[in-house]
Structure 1
Amino acid sequence: MEQNNGPWPGPKGLIPVTSGRSEDANLINRHYLDSILVEMRILDSVEPDLTTEIFGKEFASPIVMPAFSHLNKVGKNGRKPMRENAWAAKKTGMMNWIGMETDGTYKEISEVGVPTIRNIKPFSDHNIIYKQIEFSKQHDIFALGMDICHVPGKNGKYDIVDGIPLGPVTVADLKSYVQAAGDVPFVAKGVLSVQDALKAKEAGVKGIVISHHHGRLAFATPPLMMLPAIKKALAGSGITIFVDCGIETGYDAYKALALGADAVSVGRAILRPLLDEATPGVMRQIKKMNEQLSEMMMYTNISDTKSFDSSVLHFQ
């Protein structure tokens, strides 16, 4: 599907964006998602199978948990959101994911027994990175990842998170983290260009997340806009392609999968149910999204998650 590299018309005309705030990047992303229309191919359609294989393990759906961070700070009534989220993933057969958390919090989550990817920040002190990789490997980690996009801060210098300085990520650095992970798959999160996708491939990653990290980059291109070109560039590499940012419904997830994603990470759509209702709220929301995804697959004659076809999509 040919992509428009210039200003694109959203559902209500050109979108005025002037501030470069994260809200604007997310607005652009929302309009881009809504500008993708779907044709109907109903004859011979059957109820689809959502089963999806990720890194050699079978999951109930291509929709996966997001890399939430710091949520255990708002735990109440003895129920910690990160652990509640992990239980929801386990009970629904989903792959779990966590962002920046301490080793102690990761250990609590690992005890739930759900396959989990742990994201590590690009700390300027590489010893912290290697220690977290080793600790994770000792506690049944499913895969490891790094927010390669979380390098600059808003002051134009390397960011500082929870008082810990971050630093640059070179291809050589990324390769060393992949090697430290050993047999554990390593994922580069925050890829938004063919250039970075090819560099991540050079470093030996097993997966990438096409993402602008909920609008960290001012005027960021929507991940789905970049997805087809990145998919083409990585063809034959065996690299698993995840997509996140603004996936709010199973309909959104369908569009990402039709454009070439192997799996889709959902964040904001489950954040409020998680904080308000814990595990049951997340399970209800995931059930709804899987139903929406299945509905769209039936309408477009897609019988399983290996059969998506981008020709069903049209851009306004």
Structure 2
Amino acid sequence: MNLIDVRKNAREKMKGVCAICRECNGVWCRGMVPGMGGAGDGSTMQRNYDKLKDIRIMMKSLHSAKNPKTKYNFLGEVLSSPMMIAPITGLNYNAGGSIKEEDYIDDIINGSIECGTIAMIGDGGNPDFYRWGIEALKKIGGKGVAIIKPRGNSEIIKRIRMAEDVGALAVGVDIDGAGLLVMASMGQPVGPKSIDELKELVDSTDLPFIVKGILSVEEAQIAMEAGVAGIIVSNHGGRVLNGTISSVETLTEIKKVVGDRMVVIADGGVREGVDIIKFLALGADCVLVGRPIIWGSVGGRREGVKLTLETLKNQLYQSMILTGVNNLEEINEKMIFRG
């Protein structure tokens, strides 16, 4: 099995919901929510792709970085590279029935471990989605992160306890899901959180707490004040608010303010290894990968997920050689070219 075969197989199975375009830029699938596209006319998803593509990296080949180190320490867990699988649920309807939710969860949990990294499990309108993710984490000793929708705090804390019971590495809330109408339609209302509500969640557990869906310095500072261990700079893949900015447009400013006081994770359009370099150069400590993982799971199940991650890691390694960096710490903003 190779990546071409995996994506060809996924394209056939996802016909009508995802064309797995040569350029996954959100044009073909715009407005397809549920589905694989961006909200409204898809401009936010398209902006994620375009703004990341506009960033260029300075190539260098006169140096001694012949065997760069890609390992990354995430909250004490050493990963083979600075990438993890994003928390995605609802594959039974978003992927056009091409894969069962339970199968997708099994694929990402085990495929990521086999590649030396971890997955974030998600939450959804169907409570079974989160439960299945927790059960999958239990089988691997909790090596993963549980991300919960912004429900009422009492409901979130119940789910935090489930994550604690299986030994998850961290828990968190994807606050950018606050406006998801599909949650309300399924009797699972969600909404924004005040700083006091966020502090209550952080204080409810000894696990590191992560907030996903930060796009401004102001909210990064609020998260820091609440005592979170990390933030994910993200606009939910362009699937919740049409017309907003991309993560790469605000990432550097956020990192300069929070420094090393929190882990800064980012997502939004990672399609190849050089994209990881771009995000790290802009200030991220690590990245999340979403849509390519879905293609891997649908087209090749666990092996397809592993192959996708290994391909990205190998591309990252090659990109580090061709930019002259020996390790992740040497990746910085000076490598970025804008023009």
In structure 2, runs of 5+ residues without a counterpart are 1-29, 31-37, 124-128
Q: Provide Cα deviations, 1:27-52, integer angstroms capped at 9, x if missing partner.
A: 11111111111112222222211000
Preserved CA contact (<8 Å) 1:72 1:80: no
The count of corresponding residues between Structure 1 and Structure 2 is: 294
Identity of paired residues, percent? 26
Report what 2:147 is aligned to: 119
Report what 1:280 is aligned to: 303
Preserved CA contact (<8 Å) 1:39 1:313: yes
CA gap of 1:52–1:96, structure 2 versus 1, over 3 A, is same
SS of the counterpart of 1:218? coil
Report what 2:24 is aligned to: none
Report what 1:99 is aligned to: 122
Taking the TM superposition and a 5 Å limit, the aligned residue runs for 1:29-44 are: 29-44=48-63
CA–CA distance in structure 2, aligned partners of residues 29 and 179 of structure 1:
33
Report what 1:148 is aligned to: 175
Report what 1:296 is aligned to: 319
State the TM-score, normalized to the length of structure 2: 0.81
Preserved CA contact (<8 Å) 2:266 2:284: yes
Q: Which deviates more from structure 2 when the two are superposed, residues 99-108 or residues 225-234? A: 99-108
Counterpart of 2:156, as a letter, is I
Q: Provide Cα deviations, 1:84-134, integer angstroms capped at 9, x if missing partner.
A: 11010111110211110333441233213361111111113x221111111
The structural deviation recorded for 1:69 is 1.2
CA gap of 1:251–1:200, structure 2 versus 1, over 3 A, is same
Counterpart of 2:48, as a letter, is N
Preserved CA contact (<8 Å) 1:22 1:217: no
1:137 corresponds, among 150, 164, 167, to 164
1:162 aligns with 2:190: no
CA gap of 1:255–1:83, structure 2 versus 1, over 3 A, is same
SS of the counterpart of 1:152? coil
Q: Provide Cα deviations, 1:159-202, integer angstroms capped at 9, x if missing partner.
A: 616321112211111111111122x1000000000011000001
State the TM-score, normalized to the length of structure 1: 0.87
Counterpart of 2:179, as a letter, is P
Report what 1:21 is aligned to: 40
CA gap of 1:72–1:137, structure 2 versus 1, over 3 A, is farther
1:313 aligns with 2:313: no
Report what 1:235 is aligned to: 259
Q: Provide Cα deviations, 1:204-263, integer angstroms capped at 9, x if missing partner.
A: 0000000000112221111011010000010242x0010011111111111001111111
Preserved CA contact (<8 Å) 2:216 2:254: yes
The structural deviation recorded for 1:75 is 8.0
Report what 2:84 is aligned to: 64
Counterpart of 2:87, as a letter, is A
CA–CA distance in structure 2, aligned partners of residues 173 and 48 of structure 1:
43
CA–CA distance in structure 1, aligned partners of residues 61 and 55 of structure 2:
19
1:174 aligns with 2:198: yes
Let me know the Cα RMSD of the aligned residues. Answer: 2.4
1:110 aligns with 2:117: no
SS of the counterpart of 1:119? strand
Preserved CA contact (<8 Å) 2:109 2:136: no
Counterpart of 2:162, as a letter, is F
Counterpart of 1:110, as a letter, is K
1:88 aligns with 2:88: no
SS of the counterpart of 2:177? coil
Q: Which deviates more from structure 2 when the two are superposed, residues 37-46 or residues 138-147? A: 37-46
CA gap of 1:263–1:41, structure 2 versus 1, over 3 A, is same
In structure 1, runs of 5+ residues without a counterpart are 1-16
SS of the counterpart of 1:181? coil
* Greater helix fraction, Structure 1 or Structure 2: 2
CA gap of 1:226–1:22, structure 2 versus 1, over 3 A, is farther
CA–CA distance in structure 2, aligned partners of residues 59 and 93 of structure 1:
6
CA–CA distance in structure 1, aligned partners of residues 164 and 55 of structure 2:
40
